[in-house]
Amino acid sequence: MLQIDYKSGVSICDQVVNGFIRLIAMKVINTGDSLPSVRSMASNLSVNPNTIQKAYAILEEKGVIYSIKGKGSFVADSEKTNEAIIKNETNNLKQAILSAYQIGYKKEDITEIINAIYKKEE
């Protein structure tokens, strides 16, 4: 379900968190869908269960999933998930753009980068 890059420098925990946020944002998994159990996820990725446990806790704290003892973890309702995801992403963008602005980037400089990425990925 998720691809982990063990050499990327990004912690596995963060990769799991971001991976699920992405899957939810792209509607690959939707409100009410259950996530793999901590243990199955851990064994599939050959990863320590604690790592997955922590990732799920972070996702729950962000409001994109909820966990029910003895049943498992589920995607929260789309209103909540949308809000959480957009807030997260917009903050990232704001920070990067503000920083670029402060060192003298013009709107066009940023637009150029955007165009390059959207063209390349399409």
Partner DNA sequence: GTGGTCTAGACCACA
56 lines the binding site for DNA (CB under 7 A): yes
Is-contact 35 73, C-beta < 8 A? Answer: yes
Beta-bridge mates of residue 65: 75
Can you tell me the distance from the alpha carbon of 18 to that of 31, in angstroms, rounded to the nearest whole number?
17
Q: Residue 102: which of DNA, a copy of itself, none does it interact with, CB under 5 to 8 A by kind?
A: a copy of itself
Q: Residue 17: which of a copy of itself, DNA, none does it interact with, CB under 5 to 8 A by kind?
A: none
58-77 footprint of DNA as x/- string (CB under 7 A): --x------xxxxxxx----
Is-contact 63 81, C-beta < 8 A? Answer: yes
Q: Cβ 76 to a copy of itself, closest distance in Å?
A: 8
